[in-house]
Every structure is written in C-alpha cells, then in structure tokens.
C-alpha cells in the first residue's frame, strides 16, 4: 500500500491525490521501486541541466574575463543583444521538441541536442567579432530549447502529484548549485590567459564545450524514457507505476495530439497563467545569472576573480532554502502560498541589493533574491504539474511555461543597461515588479480554483479537464 499523505494535508489535496486508493503493494516494493526510479531518472538529468545552465550563462563570465574588450561588447547594446538573442529560437522550438521527443525517444533526443550545443560552445571559443558571437548564441538557443521542457515533462510523468515538488526541486537546485560554481570555475580557467596564444575567455568556452560533448555521450546511455516505454523496471514494477499514475490523475496512457486539442490548449487562459508566472520568475533568475558578476565588479568594487568567487555562495544557500521548502510543500499539500512567500523573500533581497548603501548588506540581498527566485522556479513547475492532466495538455503547458521563461530572459537581458551602471536600479525595479506580478497571478488562480472545485463537488459543472475525480491544488 502506498504510504498515506501527512495528516496535516488539506482536504483539497487529499481529494486530489487519488493514488491513496488501497492496493496490495508491499511497502518494501514501493520503496524499492521509487528509489530505483529516482536513481535512474534524476541524477543524469540534473547533471545535464547543470551543464546547460552553465553553457547558456557563461557569456557573463567570459565578458569579465576579457571578451568584452576583445569583441568590443561595450559598444551600444551588443552585450544585451548577444544575451537576449538566445531566447528567440528557444521560445520557438520548445513545443515542437515536446511533441517530437515521444517519437524520437528521450535518450536519442537529449543526447543529440546536447552533443550539438556542446559543439557550438566549443566553437564560441574561436569567434573573432561580436556578430559571430550573436550567431552562435542563436544556434545555442535553438538547440537548448528542447532540453529543459523535455526534462520537466519526463519527470512529471513518473510521479504522482504529492511526490513531484521535491523531485523537481531536487533536480533543479542541484543544477543551480553546480551552476553557481561556474563563475568560480570560469575564474580559474580564465587564468589560462595567454596559454597557446588564447585568451582566458576563449578557454572558458572551449573547456566547457568539451565537457558538454562528453556529457552528451553519457546521455545516450543513461537518460530514461517515459514510464510506458521504460526498460529498467520489471514488468510488475512498470504496471504498478502506471496504475498509481492513473489513479492519481487518470493519464497513465498517452493521449495522441489532434488539432482540436492543440487549439483548445492554446485558447485556455489557465495554461497561459503558468507561462506568465515562469516569465516573471525567470526575469529574476536570469538577471542574477547574467549580471551578478558585473554588478559585483562595477557596482560593489570587487575584483574580477573575487566577484566570480562570490557568485557561488548565494546559489548554495538557494539550493538548501529551495529543497527545505519543497519538502514542506509536498508534506502539507499546498503550492500557491509557497510561491507567494518565496516571491516576498526575493522582493526583500532585491530591495536590499538595489537601495542599501552598504556592500555587505547588498550582497546579503543577493542571497535572498537568488534564494526566493530559485525556489520559485521549481515551485511553479510543481504548481503546473499539479494542476494539469493528460500527456498532451502537460506537454503543451510545460512548453509554453518554459517558453515564458525565455521571455523573462529577454526582459532581464534588456532592462539591465550599461548606462545604468553601477547601481542598475531600473533593472532591479523591473525584477521587483515581476515578483509582484507573480503574487497577483497566484491569487487570481486561487480564486479560480476555489470556484471551479466547489462547482464540480456540487455537481454544477463537468469534471475538470474531463478527468472525473481531478481537482485543482491550491
């Protein structure tokens, strides 16, 4: 029998979690199977996502390691263009990726695109001018577009809703924590300045590109497919996994795409609310990823090496902060209140960084800003997975949500302007506004969920998402 959810769980969440139906499953079998799933599924995806995060934001480390000088990126908006161009193809190719991955196979799809973007990263070490960098960043965005939505989509299909938050958070925060050390690693690599006649920033791109290519080989061997296509569980374990998913949300079996489904999802404002949330939180996370080393150097007066070393500790804090809150969220069964709390923490941190005059306090604000923002990335994805049902609906919602994150990346890349240095207050105000938008969106969804759940319980409307027994999670 699956272990029951906490006695403190809300009535709505208990009603949502239909996986609590009684079965003849031995607890040891349950524990053994879930551990096997976790070990086969999560570590390789977390490692690959760590690499993808490093690859997409290493441009900031290369910037302070001499690339700005060599490629004349300080001229006009060249640096902002090079950062934001990544997100244009990233937005366009996410949904096609989530449609194709079932046909191609997860390992082949993820392994192939990882190898290709690693090759592009390697090539970025040899660009000679700023527009070649922009072209490489465009190609990188197209290739990475298929990765994060695919990971989130795959993970969500393996677990019941009361289990997904800490898994998504664990997957994400491990990646963020490793990514947080990328600046320190890049700082060390940059010390190769002049070796073989190459600049430090060239070595950054070349070494991280080679690491990505090696990781791609591992992806072909280790990335796991969807539950109904897996090869690492026994037939008995697979049947049990599919049964509990079906009991939880009635979508263990793949439902095929149709034009009617696509346009129905496209016109559903509820699905787009997740995209708004993810755009808002990504404005914060990308702002720190792209501009924190620059703010530490130009705004707080640290040396380049010190700034790169000081980038890592806030991400370690964010990992611990995020995972602890995810455990509590899964335990008590709420999602929205945690998003609001984490947004509030981020706002406090951003205000300290933007307006305090003491550098130590401003740096403490970075901890809170990154902690609140990072925690909300996984929380929003868990919020999405708890409130959508069906393979195709989840594939669509995941793609447009992470596409919203790309919009947040574009905003972050454009609002931190060179002329606003060293305080960058207009950009920080935009990020604070994004957090307020998140709070308002969650409040609006909560009202909608309450009204809809109540109407279904009272028999005044049809089942939510045509799934009898499915209720929204607050």
**What pLDDT, in 10s, does the model give residues 129-142?**
999 999 999 999 99
Q: What is the mean pLDDT of residues 439-464?
A: 93
- Mean pLDDT of all residues in 110-139: 94
Poorest-pLDDT segment among 12-16, 37-41, 94-98, 176-180:
12-16
Residue 1 included in any domain: no
Specify the 3-state DSSP secondary structure of 268: coil
Please state the φ and ψ torsions of residue 127, each to the nearest 5 degrees.
-70, 150
Number of structural domains in the chain:
1
Average pLDDT over residues 102-127: 93
First to last CA, the chain: 26
pLDDT (0 to 100) of residue 289 = 73
**Is residue 5, in this structure, part of any structural domain at all?**
no
State yes or no: pLDDT of 190 exceeds 50.
yes
Residue 66 to residue 72: CA distance in whole angstroms: 10
Six-digit token string for 195: 């070796």
pLDDT above 90 for 437: yes
CATH number (domain holding residue 340): 1.20.1250.20
Average pLDDT, the chain: 85
**What's residue 418's pLDDT?**
65
The whole-angstrom separation of Cα 34 and Cα 36 is: 5
Give the rounded distance of the alpha carbon of 413 from its chain centre.
17
Evaluate whether 257 touches 26 at the Cβ level (below 8 Å).
no
Q: What pLDDT is stored for residue 244 in this prediction?
A: 87
Closest CA to 277 of 321, 318, 234, 335: 335
Residue 209, pLDDT above cutoff 90: yes
Average pLDDT on 404-415 reads: 83
What is the pLDDT at residue 118? 95
The closest of 469, 95, 25, 471 to 247, measured between CA atoms, is: 469
pLDDT at 74 over 80: yes
Q: At a CB cut-off of 8 Å and minimum separation 6, what does 336 contact?
A: 383, 442, 443, 445, 446, 474
pLDDT tens, position by position, 339-361: 999 999 999 998 888 888 888 88
In a domain? residue 261: no
Given this model, what pLDDT does residue 3 score? 36
Domain-located, residue 20? no
Give the span between the Cα atoms of 114 and 59, in whole angstroms: 18
Residue 1's pLDDT band, with cuts at 50, 70 and 90, is: very low
> When comparing pLDDT for 337 and 403, which is higher?
337
Measured CA to CA, the distance from residue 61 to residue 124 in angstroms comes to 13
Indicate the pLDDT class of residue 184, thresholds 50, 70 and 90: confident
Does position 301 have pLDDT exceeding 80, yes or no? no
Whether the pLDDT of residue 110 is over 90: the answer is: yes
CA angle centred on 133, ends 132 and 134, rounded to 5°: 90
Res 11: pLDDT: 37
* Reported confidence tier of residue 171, pLDDT bands at 50, 70, 90: confident
In 67-223, where does DSSP find H-type helix?
68-70, 78-84, 87-104, 106-124, 130-144, 148-158, 161-180, 182-190, 200-222
Checking if the pLDDT of 466 tops 50, the result is yes
Q: Predicted confidence band at 333 (pLDDT cuts at 50, 70, 90)?
A: confident
How much is the pLDDT for 464?
87
> Do the domain assignments include residue 220?
yes
Q: Determine, yes or no, domain membership for 7.
A: no
Q: What is the pLDDT of residues 77-95, one digit of tens each?
A: 888 888 888 888 988 888 8
**Residue 42 pLDDT greater than 70, yes or no:** yes
What's the pLDDT score for residue 422?
67
256 falls within a domain: no
Residue 257 falls inside a structural domain: no
Reported pTM: 0.78
Could you give the 3-state DSSP secondary structure of residue 363? helix
How confident is the model over 309-320, as pLDDT tens digits?
787 788 889 888
Which structural domain range is residue 377 located in?
A: 25-249+268-461
């Amino acid at each position: 029998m699956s272990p029951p959810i906490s006695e403190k769980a809300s009535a709505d969440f208990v009603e949502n979690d239909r996986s609590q139906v009684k079965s003849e499953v031995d607890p040891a079998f349950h524990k053994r199977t879930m551990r096997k799933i976790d070990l086969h599924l999560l570590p390789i995806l977390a490692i690959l996502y760590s690499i993808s995060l490093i690859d997409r934001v290493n441009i900031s480390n290369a910037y302070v390691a001499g690339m700005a000088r060599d490629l004349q990126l300080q001229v006009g908006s060249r640096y902002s263009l090079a950062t934001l161009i990544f997100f244009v193809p990233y937005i366009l190719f996410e949904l096609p990726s989530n449609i194709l991955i079932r046909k191609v196979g997860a390992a082949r799809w993820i392994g192939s695109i990882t190898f290709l973007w690693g090759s592009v990263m390697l090539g970025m070490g040899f660009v000679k001018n700023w527009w070649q960098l922009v072209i490489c960043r465009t190609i990188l965005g197209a290739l990475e577009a298929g990765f994060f939505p695919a990971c989130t989509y795959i993970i969500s299909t393996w677990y019941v809703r009361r289990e997904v938050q800490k898994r998504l958070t664990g997957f994400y925060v491990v990646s963020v924590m490793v990514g947080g050390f990328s600046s320190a690693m890049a700082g060390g690599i940059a010390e190769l300045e002049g070796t073989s006649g190459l600049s430090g920033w060239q070595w950054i791109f070349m070494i991280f590109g080679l690491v990505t290519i090696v990781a791609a080989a591992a992806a072909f061997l280790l990335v796991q497919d969807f539950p109904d296509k897996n090869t690492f569980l026994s037939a008995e374990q697979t049947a049990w996994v599919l049964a509990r998913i079906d009991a939880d949300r009635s979508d263990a079996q793949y439902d095929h795409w149709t034009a009617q489904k696509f346009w129905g999802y496209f016109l559903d404002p509820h699905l787009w609310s997740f995209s708004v949330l993810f755009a808002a939180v990504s404005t914060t996370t990308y702002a720190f990823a792209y501009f924190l080393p620059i703010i530490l150097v130009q705004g707080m007066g640290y040396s380049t090496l010190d700034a790169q070393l000081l980038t890592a500790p806030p991400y370690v804090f964010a990992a611990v902060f995020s995972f602890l809150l995810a455990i509590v969220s899964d335990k008590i069964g709420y999602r929205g209140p945690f998003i609001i709390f984490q947004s509030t923490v981020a706002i406090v941190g951003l205000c300290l960084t933007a307006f305090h005059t003491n550098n130590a306090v401003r740096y403490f604000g970075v901890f809170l800003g990154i902690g609140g923002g990072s925690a909300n990335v996984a929380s929003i994805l868990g919020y999405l997975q708890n409130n959508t049902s069906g393979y195709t609906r989840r594939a669509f919602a995941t793609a447009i949500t992470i596409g919203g994150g790309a919009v947040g990346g574009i905003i972050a890349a454009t609002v931190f302007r060179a002329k606003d240095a060293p305080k960058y207050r207009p950009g920080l105000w935009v990020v604070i506004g994004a957090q307020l938008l998140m709070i308002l969106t969650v409040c609006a969804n909560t009202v909608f969920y309450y009204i809809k759940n109540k109407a279904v319980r009272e028999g005044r409307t049809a089942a939510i998402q045509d799934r009898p027994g499915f209720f929204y999670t607050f």
